Structures are given as C-alpha cells and as structure tokens.
Amino acid sequence: MELEQLMNIEVVTASRKSETLLKTAAATHVITQEDIRRMGATSLPEVLRGVPGLQIAQIDSNNWAISIRGLNDRFSNNLLVMIDGRSIYNPLFGGVYWNMHETLLEDIERIEVVRGPGGTLWGANAVNGVINIITKNAKDTQGAQFTLLGGSQEGIFSARYGGKVNDQISYRFFTRGKNVQQFNDTPLYQANDHWRDLASGFRVDGDMDAGSKWTLQGGYNTGHANQLTSSTSLIPPATLPVADGVNYQSGNIQFRWEKQFSEDNKWRAQSYYDFFGRHALAATNRIHTVDLEIQNQLKFAALQKHEFVWGVGYRAVVDELESSFTVAFDPRHRYTRTFSAFIQDDIRLTGKLKFTVGSKVENNSYTGFEFQPNARMLFEINERNSVWAAVSRAVRVPTRSENDFRINFLATPGKDQFSPPMLFGILGNRSLVTEKIYAAEVGYRSLLTHTLSFDTAGFYNYYDDLIGTRTSAGFESNPFPPHLLVANALSNNLTATAYGADMQAKWQPVDYWQLVSTYTVFKMDAHYKNGFAGAPADITHLEKSTPRHQFSVRSDLKLPYNLEFNGMFYYTGQIQARGLHVAEQGRLDLRLAWVPSPKLELSIVGQNILNKQHQEFAALDLFNTQIPRSVYGRIMYRF
C-alpha cells in the first residue's frame, strides 16, 4: 500500500466505529497483513515487535511479557487484548496467556493497537491500551492453502480451506500444529520449555439482506508446555526446583450480527462463550465466560453536528480452581458478573474541529460501580495533517487471584530442633479497590509528502491505588508443623507517574523500497502512599521493568526476479525485572523470499542473528531463560 492509502486506512478500535487513521483522535497503529507477511514472524507476540510504545519481551519458548507504556510483566494486567472483539484477557491472573491463543497469521486482516486508556469504550482493564486482532472475512479466504515451516527451533504445519454455500454465505476452516524445541539456558541446565500446540478454527460469514450481515466463528487450542518451577514444603527439603508440564486447552464460539438501517442508524450485537483450562503441578484451573453486547451508532436529524455511539453489555465468569500447598484459592468456586453501559458523542464543532466526550459505567462483583470518562479533540489542519489531544480516566478491577489466592513460594527449615521453619507467602486481599489512571495525551499525524509520513504522541499518566505488597510476620500452626509465616499481603499502597513519547516515520522513496522507523522514550516514578512502605522490589519493578529507550527500523525491499528482502532491527534499553538486571540489547531479523506467483511463496528467515543467545525478561515464577538465535525455512502454497 502507498503511504497515502495507509494514512486513510479505516480503523474501528479507537472509537468503536469506522474512521480513517488520519482523523482518529488517539495514538493508533495499524499492522496490515502485508506487514505480518514481510516480518516472517511465527507467533502473535513477534508480530507486535516494532510497534511504538509497546514492549515485547520473550521469557521462554512459550511465554512473553507484553505491555503498552509501562507496567510490563508476564501477566501485564493493564492491557486489553481482543480477537474480533472477543477479550482474551484472563480473568484469573489478568494479562494474556499468549501460548493459548495461537491462530493462523495469514487469516489476520489487520491488528489495531491503541496506545493510551480505552476504558470509555472497552471497559475496565483497558488502562494502558488496547490490541484488537481483526481477522479476514471468509469470502476473502477462498480456496486451499498449505504452509510448512521447519528450522533450528520450531516446526509448523497449517492447512486452510475456504468455500461458499451460496452467493450469500462463505466459510473457512483451518488447523495449525506447532512444535518448539526447548531453549538452552545455561551450561548447567536447560530451560525445560518444550512447547507443543494444536489450534483449529472456523468462520462463516453471511449476508441476510441489504445492509445486514452476520458472522459465526469459533476456535479450539490444546497443547503442552514444559516449564521450570519450584515446589514448596514445610518438610525438608523445603524448596526444590521442579521440571513441570502444563496441559492446557481453550475454546470459544462467537456470533456477531450487524444491521445498517441507514447511514445514521447502525446496530451491532455480539455474544460469545469462552472456555479456559490449565493443569499443572501447582494448580488446575477451569474458567467459563459468557459475554453479551449490543451497540448502536446513531445520528439525529435535529442534531446534525452530533453522532452518538452507545451500548450495553453483560459478562458472567464461572471458575473452578483446584489448589495445592504452593498455590491455593479460597473459595474454590466463584461466580462473578459485570454489567456495563457506555455512550460517546462526536460533536463536529466546525468543518475541521471535532470534540468527543463519553463515559462508561460498569458494575462488577469485586468493586461495585466504576466510571471511566474521556474527552478528546481533533483538529484537521488539512487533508494531510491533524493534531489531537485527550484526557481520560480508566480503571483496572482486581482479579480473582488478587482477591482470593495464597502463594507459598519459599520455605526454610529451622536452624535447630528448637527453631520453627519459616514460610514466605503472597496473600490476596478482598478489600482491594481498583487501580486508577488519569491520563493526558497529545498527538500529531502527518503525510508530510507523498513519500514520507510521521506520527507521534506524548503522554502523562498518573496512577493511583496501584497494587503492591505489605509485609508482616506471625506464627501459624496449620498446616503442620507450626511455622513462622512471613506474609506479603497485597495492598493498594502505590502511586506512580509515567510520561514519555512514541513516534513512527515511514519513508517510501521508490515503489519497491520502504523504511519504517519507530522510537519510544519512557520514564516512570513510583512511590508508596501515605508512608506505607512495602517490599522494595515493588518500586523497582514498576520503575525499571520497562526500558527508558526503544528503537526499531524495518526495511522492505522488492528485488528483481520476484525476490523480497526484509530486515528488522530492534533496540531495547536495559531493564530490571523482579530485581534481576537485563542488559540493553539489539536484535536483527532477516527474511529472503521468492514469490513467483500469488500461489507460491518460499522464504528463509533468521531471527536474533546478532546474539547466540540473550535474556529479554525475568519473571517471578520462571527461571531466567536465554533466547537463542534461530533460522527456519517456509513454504506456502495456495490453490
């Protein structure tokens, strides 16, 4: 696509209605299918590398830490991620189990990334941003496609077939198998993170009559992921490293209906059921989610300058959690629900000036009523330039774990027969309130020339009631033997400020070559509230788990004889995650492809070429795995 086409691509995540990227009053980035193809990525997290404002850190072969504008962790619980409007935010721990949502990357139409609060439209947990993965209509994936990938670390096989029932109804279904070898960790031991996954899915799209359409889609994932963890006991040996395995499965089915009665009256209804299950040595979790939502885009003849979007929703979550001494939940079963309603008004003040105001109201089982307002202003300087500003309030509701869990992560025996053992634990808190963000943003978006575009946004965020820990000690007699408990109880005892900027420039000097460069600068300062000190690691992790500077550049070059050469370089500044230092690093990925026809593509990809192995993140419950250099070849054939 030419740069002018890219700036006028239509997006929906920032406002829940279709509008061009140039006229969007939010820091929005779009990853197209062509971007995904040229990256040579094999997973959703790798596709997101290079998006300004995002930190992507691989933990091991099947775990990632992904966040927008700070607060990064294995479970980044301030980021909402959706696939076709279905939330994959995990209600147990928060965040996303990325290895449980494998899909066919070739079926993705685009990925919209909104940096900044999205609570007014998408509800609690869309605090720092929203990632919306939008797949293709079934009518755009007709015929058969086979893909075979093999290399030093992973192998993938996928098959897809699309067809038509009649002129109004199209369908597709796919299956994808993935096998990732365990990473080498240190000369002393290996990472024990071998990962196998099998994903299948379908989508059916139909046109009922003029202006009306529907979609039925679903998917199923099952797999096994090895991991290194630890087992805790009051009986010596107290704490031991354990080579464990996680068996998981997830499934969903979703129905969506859209009806356009007129240009001024559009309706959309969606419902889905989602199942999540994981079994490991420490715990077994099963979660069922039902979600219903209705949305209306409306414009009144008497209020021509106003365009409203409003909607209502309901979500129910039922869980069944089996516990162990290491990880325990009380109660084992819980039913929670969320009622929501939102309204947003776009007011066209002049031909070039638009003002947007709205709010979402939610009532949830943990904290009751929550309000998430926002106000935005967009000024279209001309057809090639626009500036925007926004102020927002958003919240994150405490998760089931933060309310009801206990983790015993370390035990030490007594010094002698008269000294009791010591147990270290993390305890949930049912008195937690929501984490809050008050955000101010400003941005500028421009098609400077027909060969150069520029997009930048600056932000200032104030966080209140962030969840940290408070340490106390006391004796317990149950479980036996009696012991001293050093408890880190969760508490809303932290505040923080974060500020920075993210920017992107695209330069296409000739038709066959494009350069894309991004830069992000970020700073966070965290403090204890009212002098209530907690674990020092809480402050350190908040302030230093996201790098101060990130930079990326991607070159896409078309060569003679149907060859393509793509290079991606990513620089990430140093971080300190969970008290462990991770050095600054540069990563280089290269792809060479031969595409003799739309039916056939052969490619070879090298990832992390500059480093034999390197560490990207440190997680509390995982060992610090080194990410290795890898190379693979790929064949894709369509007919």
pLDDT digits (tens, 9 = 90+) for 516-556: 999 999 999 999 987 666 667 788 888 998 999 999 999 99
In this predicted structure, the answer to whether residue 239 has a pLDDT above a threshold of 90 is no
CB-CB neighbours of 106 under 10 Å: 18
Q: How do residues 207-228 score in pLDDT, each as one tens digit? A: 988 789 999 999 999 999 988 7
DSSP 171-210: EEEEEEEEEEPPPEEETTEE----EEEEEEEEEEEEEEET
Greatest mean pLDDT among 4-13, 237-246, 485-494: 485-494
In this predicted structure, the answer to whether residue 236 has a pLDDT above a threshold of 80 is no
Q: How do residues 305-316 score in pLDDT, each as one tens digit? A: 999 999 999 999
**In 466-491, which positions are buried (b, 16+ CB within 10 angstroms) versus exposed (e)?**
bbbbbeeeeebeeeeeebbeebbbbb
Which amino acid is it at 445?
R
Region 276-288 average pLDDT? 90
Q: How do residues 568-616 score in pLDDT, each as one tens digit? A: 999 999 998 776 788 999 999 999 999 999 999 999 999 999 988 888 9
Region 231-238 average pLDDT? 75
DSSP 32-71: EHHHHHHHT-SSHHHHTTT-TTEEEEEEETTEEEEEESS-
Q: Which of 607, 548, 608, 541 is nearest to 572 (CA)?
A: 548
To the nearest whole percent, how much of the chain has pLDDT over 70? 97
Q: How do residues 467-480 score in pLDDT, each as one tens digit? A: 998 888 888 888 88
Region 244-256 average pLDDT? 94
User: How many Å apart are CA 612 and CA 616, to the nearest integer?
Assistant: 13
In this predicted structure, the answer to whether residue 622 has a pLDDT above a threshold of 60 is no
Strands 79-83 and 129-135: parallel
Region 325-335 average pLDDT? 91
pLDDT for res 535: 67
Taking the CA of residue 636 as centre, how many other CA atoms within 13 Å lie in the half-sphere pointing to its CB?
Answer: 19
C-alpha distances (whole Å) from 70 to each of 113, 188, 373, 409 are: 15, 33, 22, 26
In this predicted structure, the answer to whether residue 241 has a pLDDT above a threshold of 80 is no
Local structure of residue 168 (DSSP, 8 states):
S
User: How many Å apart are CA 252 and CA 115, to the nearest integer?
Assistant: 27
Residue 463 banded pLDDT, cuts 50, 70, 90: very high
Mean pLDDT of the chain: 91
The residues, ordered by sequence, that sit 6+ positions from 106 with a Cβ below 8 Å of its Cβ are: 33, 36, 37, 145, 147, 158, 160, 636
Residue 410 banded pLDDT, cuts 50, 70, 90: confident
What φ, ψ does residue 109 adopt, rounded to 5°?
A: -80, -45
In this predicted structure, the answer to whether residue 16 has a pLDDT above a threshold of 60 is yes
pLDDT for res 402: 94
Region 161-180 average pLDDT? 96
User: How many Å apart are CA 60 and CA 74, to the nearest integer?
Assistant: 11
Region 185-212 average pLDDT? 84
Q: How do residues 82-99 score in pLDDT, each as one tens digit? A: 999 999 999 998 889 999
pLDDT for res 270: 97
pLDDT for res 620: 58
Q: How do residues 44-85 score in pLDDT, each as one tens digit? A: 999 999 999 999 999 889 999 999 999 998 888 999 999 999
User: How many Å apart are CA 532 and CA 492, to the nearest integer?
Assistant: 10
CB-CB neighbours of 360 under 10 Å: 26
In this predicted structure, the answer to whether residue 188 has a pLDDT above a threshold of 70 is no
Q: Which of 101, 117, 114 is nearest to 44 (CA)?
A: 101
In this predicted structure, the answer to whether residue 623 has a pLDDT above a threshold of 90 is no
Region 618-634 average pLDDT? 80
pLDDT for res 185: 59
Residue 162 banded pLDDT, cuts 50, 70, 90: very high
Identify the residue with better confidence: 567 or 577: 567
In this predicted structure, the answer to whether residue 303 has a pLDDT above a threshold of 70 is yes
In this predicted structure, the answer to whether residue 397 has a pLDDT above a threshold of 60 is yes
pLDDT for res 394: 96
In this predicted structure, the answer to whether residue 619 has a pLDDT above a threshold of 70 is no
DSSP 430-491: TT---EEEEEEEEEEEEEEETTEEEEEEEEEEEEEEEEEEEEEEEEE-SSSSPEEEEEEEEE
Give the three-state DSSP class for 99. Answer: helix
Identify the residue with better confidence: 281 or 591: 591
Strands 513-528 and 143-151: unpaired
Residue 186 banded pLDDT, cuts 50, 70, 90: low
To the nearest whole percent, how much of the chain has pLDDT over 90? 71
What φ, ψ does residue 226 adopt, rounded to 5°?
A: -75, 155
> Alpha helices of 379-448 — where are they, by DSSP H?
400-404
Local structure of residue 138 (DSSP, 8 states):
G
